[in-house]
Each structure stands twice: as C-alpha cells, then as structure tokens.
A and B are shown apart, each in its own frame.
Chain A
Amino acid sequence: MRTALLAIGVIIGLTRFAAGFTVEEETVFPSAGVEQQRIAILSTTDTAVLKPLIEAYQSRNPDIAVHYTVASSQEVFAAIQSERLAFDLVISSAMDLQMKLANDGFAAPYRSAATEALPRWARWQDRLFAFAQENVVLIASNEGLEGLGLPQTRRDLIEMLRDNPNRFRGRIGTYDPSLSGAGYLFATQDARQSDSFWRLAEVMGSLAPRLYISSNDMITDLKQGTLVLAYNVLGSYAGPRLAGDGDTSVVELEDHTLTLLRTGLVPTTAETPELGGAFLDFLLGAEGRRLLRDAAGLPPIDETALSSGPHLRPMRLDPGLLVFLDAIKRRAFLDEWSAALQQN
C-alpha cells in the first residue's frame, strides 16, 4: 500500500520543477493518520538512505506528511539561492555551498536543545548544523594490489604509483573537481592540508586516471575490476556497499583523512520552518542518531570518534569554505589542478 503511494508521489514530483531545477527523485511519504501538516525537505542524500528516519519520524508524528526531494548539491544550492523555492529543511553534503547559503543570509536562525548540544565544530552560528560525519577514504582492490600491500599514507601511495606505473595506468579513479562539487571540496581541502596532494595529482596525472562525478560510480568500477584504487571516496557510501566484500579494502590514510560534515539548515524561504527544525531535532536526537548509524549507514556526530582518530580532519564550518567558491580562486585552482594532471 505504502509502496503504491510512494510511486504515485514520485510520478507527481517529476513534473513539478520543470523550470531550471533538475530533480533526481521526489517522494511523498503520506501521513499515517489525517494529514495536518507537510514537511518539504530538499536533500542531496538518496531517499533510500534517509527513508528509515523519515518513517520513524512519521510514526511519532502520524499527522505529518513528508515531501522529500533529492537533487545534486549545485541544484540544491541554486534552488534556494536563485530560485527561492520553499523548503522547510535543506540537507546537503556540500559543506561549502551550505556555508555560503548560511553566510549570505539564506538560512534562518534556529535554536533548540538539540542544536545547543552540538559541539562547536559541528555548527555555525544558529543557522547551520551537522548531523553526520563521514570520512573521505581510499578504497583498493586487494586482487589488483596483489604483492604490494596497502598504502597507509599518501607518501606510500605516491611511491607505490611511481614504482608500479604499468599496474596502475588507467586503473586509478578519483573525482573530477571541475564537474563534481564534492570532488572540488575534497581536492581543495586536501590541498589545504598538505602539499603531498599536488605531488599525488602529478603522479596520478602521469597514470591516465579515470575521473568521476560520484563515489557510487567509482565503487561500482572498482568492484567490476576496472579500477584498482579509488581516491577520495565517501566512506559512508563505501562502507555499506563493500561490507562483506573480502576483495576490497577501505583505507583511512594516516597522514590525514578528511571528515565531511553532512549539514542541514532551515532556509528563510521555509513555509513551515518549525517543522524543518523539528525534523532536524529528530536527526540530532537519540533515536535519529541510532537510525543514522544502523539503518542509514551515516555516522552521527560523535566527538569521541574524532578524538580517538588523530588522523581525522573534520572540515571546518567557517567562512574559509567561501574562499574556494570564489570564481577567480576556483578558476585558479582548477587551472593548477589541470596543469598538474596533464603535465605528462
């Protein structure tokens, strides 16, 4: 019954934003009882991932329907900044774009016990809140690496690539920062963390790397044997998909491993901002955290996990994120990246 309703919702949704806003998926979760209210959520996270949370939320609030729309991070940003579409909650893994929305005044202030309980590094003002922390990892095909051993640092990785150019030529995958927002964010943050990023880019450039726009595609190609290594893959995607797969390894590089914060904000365009805030509270609450970890495979905000992993570098939620969104800066960075990749 519910599946049928969902299907109807998806069909309706596809036609809704015909003008200038590309929606990947749109689902309505009808209320269990008589619908009194409806939350509109705009998200970069796949419906399937957050579905258990939405349903749990609805079982608590049977009179609320949830309208869940999935789009790319750029589309999500544009929907709010340019198109001023009315959503009650915006969820995105693109920290820099979320930060820009908040900084430029598109996020409404929201304050609750749950948001106050967040650590300082997991929120910005009372406008932007992180609810999941996901490591950016290296994944490797054990079969493809046979005899070489897993690299633990970028230095190891660079040496391994240099020493075995034939084995890795055309079999390394990473994001294309010029096409992928996440890829650009990871690359710029990597570059900030260490100079080894540029050396790695040069080495990879000499090995004809394959460039992707999503982590899922990289994982798929690795599993199919097309890739031996995939660099800067979201661990939260890799974890569930590679679980029980003895052929691949997930590596958190020890020199530094970036941690992405998946954030939510209540846009100023919200029609019912209190509902957006309520759903955010649910994500941050005890049940939400449990469901995030167990059902969605997204690690909830956990300070002890960070302090026990000294190699983890959570990306800072501060205006520094705006710097690489600057058009000149972006062009300069991409130019440099292209140069590094294509030098040979």
Chain B
Amino acid sequence: MRRAPLSLRLRLVLQLLGIAAVLAIMLYFTVRTVAEQAAEATQDGVLGAATLAIAESLQGGDSGVGVDLPYEAFSILGSISADRVFYRIDADGATLTGYDDLPLPEEAGVAVVPVFYTRPFRDTEVRIAAVARMLLVAREPVPVLVMVAQTRQGQEAIAQRVAQRAAAIGLGSFALAAALSLLTAGSVLRPINRLADAVGRRGPQDLRSVDRPTPAELRPLVTALNGFIARLRGALNRTETFIAEAAHHIRTPLATVRARAEIALRQSKSEEMRATLRAVIRAVEESSRSAGQLLDHATVVARTDRLADEKVDLAKLVAAQADAFRPTAELRDLTIHHSGTDRPVIVQGDRALIEAALRNLIDNAIKYSPPETSVDLDLTTGAEALIEVADRGRGLSGQAQSKLTQRFIRGENAGDIIGSGLGLTIVAEVAVAHGGHFDLTEREGGGACARLYLPLA
C-alpha cells in the first residue's frame, strides 16, 4: 500500500522548523563561543595586567631581587569575580616567594609580554599568566619569572550565564521562527486552499473557467484546469449541437410522413389500412416527443453551467404558456384554468429553462387529462415562488415520486422510457439549477399536482 504523501502545510512547516532549529543551534553555539572567548580575553587581560604590575615592582640590587607585591594588583583580580589567586616568583630557577608548586610555563624563554596557560593546580584548575624579566643582581643578569594564577570559577560562572542566555536566545529565536513558519505556511498555502475551495464549491454542472487571481506558480495548474473545463464544455456543446441537428434532421421527414399519413387516412376507405395509418401517426408522435425532450434536456444541461442571469417575470411566463397551450387543450375539450397573481413575480434565472420546465409540466398534464376536465395553473408567492400544475388524470397510482418516470411510459417499447422519463428530469434539473425544488403529489379528488418552487429575486 502506498503511503499518502505529507500535506504541503506539514512539509513546509517541518522544513521551516528544521531550518529554524539549525539556525537556533548555530546561534546558540556562536553566542556562547564568542561570549566565552570575550570573557576569557577579559579575564586574561586583567590577569596579564596583574602579572605585569608585579613584574614592574621587581628590583635588582646588590643584596638580591627585591619584590614589592602591589596590593592593588591582587585586589583587582578579585574585583571582577571572587576567584582564588595564586602567584610565584622565581629568580634564577629558585622560588623567591609565593606558591612554589604553581606549574611553570612549558617554554623556557617566556617573553616580556604575558604568556597564558591553563593547568590543574591542587584541587582545581587555574589560568596562569607568566612574564619573564632580567634583573641585575650584583652586576650579574638574573632571569626572574613572575606567574600569577587565577581559578576560572568566575569565568565559568560567566560562561554558564552566557550559555543560559544563549540557550534562551536560541529557544526564543526558535519559537519566533516556529510561529513565523506557521504564518508563512499559512500564507503560502492560502492561494492553493482558496483555489481548492473555489473549485470544490462548484455545483456538479458548473463549467465556468476558473478566473480568480492566482500566484504565478499555480497558473499552469489553473491553465490546465481551465483547458480541461473548456474541453469538457466543448464536448457538452458539441453533444447539444449534435442533438439539435439530429432532431432537426429527424423532424422534417417525420413531418412529411405524418402529413402523408393523415392525408392517406382521410382518403382511405379500408378500415385495415386506416388502423395501420393510425399506428404510423402514433409512432411519429412518440418519436417527435422523444426528440423534443432529448433536445430540451440537452439544452438544460448545456445552459446550467452558464445560466443566463436575468430577471424573469413568472406571471407573464405562466400566462403566455397558458395561452400557447389553450388551442391544444381545446382540441380535447380541456380547459386551461389559469389563476393566481397577475402582478409581476420576479425570479432570477434563465427564462428559456424555466419555460422549458413549465412547458413539460403543462404538456404532460394535457396528455394525461381525460376530456372535458381542466388543467389548473396557479402561481403563488410565499418564501418562494410556487407554480402549481394540477390535472384530473390518472394520478400517481400510489407510486413514489422517485418511481414517477413510469408515469410517462406510453408504449411497450423500451426506447420510449428515455424520452418519457426526461420530462420529469428536465423539470427537476431546472429547479435545482435555480436553487429551487420540485415535487409531484397525488391531487385531492383525483389527478396529480406538480409543484415547481423557485426562489424569489
């Protein structure tokens, strides 16, 4: 099994944290080293000065080497830190005064400037400064070596303080960097999240291209995505065009067939022939109906992704459809009863699609109404606009709405199922595309009642 790759955010945060940790550790060691070196240099400076001060006080003479330990030299050593102090003055290889076990410097020829070295001494470790001088004793040059030593507790205490401070600085800068890295990760990923949101929020049929501004790095992705969307849209358009063309090419010959069949029917005396012709006409009727619904559906699908956004007056639309269907209805002694408000009822949407839905509803109602009944159109407004189309037909026969496609089966051949089922599908799709909904219920007193709800503008 393949492991899911780390999230970008986690990846980014981890890397930034890693860098921050490395920088913080480097900072810690740098601060520590620099500070320790500075502390040592300072300590050495004082130690060297004390050693030199003692060396300055040395005096030659006939009776031997004269030493006058300067009080301040020692006192100053203690002023920086309370460190233990040791000293040793050797003349001509013999210890004159001080601690005769204090370690000597390694090289014999110590210069006039202090030489520093660190040695264990007694129960501790000391930093020693050594200075050499030549003195004339009884007119003979005598080498004198002055050593002053100091424990490093003060310096260690400083180093410890510095280390703590450096650790605090390191931790602080790490914490700061961590916080910044979280912010950075957030801000870097925000465009990606926004893009993902924008694409994710789309409805299943929303095929507009992605046009929100994106950083240059994401542009190839967006371009590719838009190209993909465009191809998909193109494919859908071609399908729609194809269906439209197909419908056109089928309908005209069908019209001819039908016209010829009707003429033949009028002129035929043979009942057998007449029955055949009636069957021909019915078949043509069903084919053209299927073609019409296929076309309607293709149109609905094609238009939902670029829905016309206009104000549609439902009152006018319902009235126009009522008028348009009246001649058809009258042929069967059906009345189209149109009630409800005649004030404008405005919804925002695609007039062509709403009209298609309404037409399918009325068409169905008429087709299934027994003669001399009425098809009732009603338009009301509440929280939403409601178009009601009610008939006195066979009703739903107790079938659930989900199985209602069966209501549209009008023949025994399977090809009809597609065409018939589409009528309801079209209405439902139009409702959803406009943010509304559709239901079909048994009508009180017999028949069916279709309700199309659309949000008001």
Q: Which residues of A contact B (CB under 8 A)?
A: 102-105, 124-125, 192, 316, 318-320, 322-324, 326-329, 332
Residues of the B chain whose Cβ atoms lie less than 8 Å from the Cβ of A319: 74-75, 77-78, 83-85
Closest approach, in angstroms, between the C-beta of A238 and any C-beta of chain B? 28
CA distance A189 to B75 in the complex (A): 13
B85/A322 in contact, CB under 8 A: yes
CA distance A324 to B74 in the complex (A): 11
Closest approach, in angstroms, between the C-beta of B24 and any C-beta of chain A? 32
Given the known interface contacts A124-B82, A327-B97, the answer about A322 and B74 at a Cβ–Cβ threshold of 8 Å is yes
Q: Does B267 contact A (CB under 8 A)?
A: no
Interface flags, B127-158, vs A, CB<8A=1, else 0: 00000000000000000000000000100000
Given the known interface contacts A125-B82, A319-B74, A322-B85, the answer about A105 and B123 at a Cβ–Cβ threshold of 8 Å is yes
A326/B84 in contact, CB under 8 A: no
Closest approach, in angstroms, between the C-beta of A123 and any C-beta of chain B? 8
CA distance A318 to B82 in the complex (A): 7
Q: Does B323 contact A (CB under 8 A)?
A: no
A329/B75 in contact, CB under 8 A: no
Q: Does B256 contact A (CB under 8 A)?
A: no
CA distance A102 to B82 in the complex (A): 11
Interface size class of B (residues with CB under 8 A): 20 to 34
Q: Does B96 contact A (CB under 8 A)?
A: yes
The winner among B72, B83, B85, B99 for most chain A CB atoms within 10 A is B85
B68/A329 in contact, CB under 8 A: yes
B71/A328 in contact, CB under 8 A: no
* CB nearest neighbor in B for A102: B84
CA distance A326 to B122 in the complex (A): 19
B84/A320 in contact, CB under 8 A: no
B123/A320 in contact, CB under 8 A: no
Q: Does B67 contact A (CB under 8 A)?
A: yes
Residues of the A chain whose Cβ atoms lie less than 8 Å from the Cβ of B70: 323
Q: Which listed residue (A318, A324, A328, A332) contacts B78, Cβ 8 A? A: A318
A328/B75 in contact, CB under 8 A: no
CA distance A332 to B66 in the complex (A): 9
* CB nearest neighbor in A for B123: A105
CA distance A180 to B72 in the complex (A): 24
Q: Which listed residue (B71, B99, B124) contacts A192, Cβ 8 A? A: B71
B68/A103 in contact, CB under 8 A: no
Closest approach, in angstroms, between the C-beta of B96 and any C-beta of chain A? 7
Inter-chain pairs besides A103-B84, A105-B122, 16 sampled, C-beta below 8 Å: A104-B84, A104-B86, A124-B78, A125-B84, A316-B75, A316-B78, A318-B78, A318-B79, A319-B75, A320-B72, A320-B75, A324-B71, A326-B69, A326-B97, A329-B68, A332-B68
Residues of the B chain whose Cβ atoms lie less than 8 Å from the Cβ of A322: 74, 85
CA distance A104 to B151 in the complex (A): 11
B74/A318 in contact, CB under 8 A: yes
Residues of the A chain whose Cβ atoms lie less than 8 Å from the Cβ of B122: 104-105
CA distance A323 to B75 in the complex (A): 9
Q: Which of B50-92 contact A (CB under 8 A)?
A: 67-75, 77-79, 82-86
Given the known interface contacts A320-B74, A320-B75, the answer about A328 and B84 at a Cβ–Cβ threshold of 8 Å is no
CA distance A16 to B74 in the complex (A): 39
CA distance A316 to B79 in the complex (A): 10
Residues of the A chain whose Cβ atoms lie less than 8 Å from the Cβ of B86: 103-104
CA distance A105 to B85 in the complex (A): 10
B96/A328 in contact, CB under 8 A: yes
Closest approach, in angstroms, between the C-beta of B56 and any C-beta of chain A? 15
CA distance A125 to B150 in the complex (A): 13
CA distance A328 to B99 in the complex (A): 13
Between-chain CB contacts (< 8 Å), 10 pairs: A105-B123, A125-B83, A125-B84, A125-B153, A318-B77, A319-B74, A320-B78, A326-B97, A327-B97, A329-B68
Residues of the A chain whose Cβ atoms lie less than 8 Å from the Cβ of B83: 125, 319
Closest approach, in angstroms, between the C-beta of B452 and any C-beta of chain A? 88
* CB nearest neighbor in A for B85: A319
B78/A326 in contact, CB under 8 A: no
Residues of the B chain whose Cβ atoms lie less than 8 Å from the Cβ of A320: 71-72, 74-75, 78
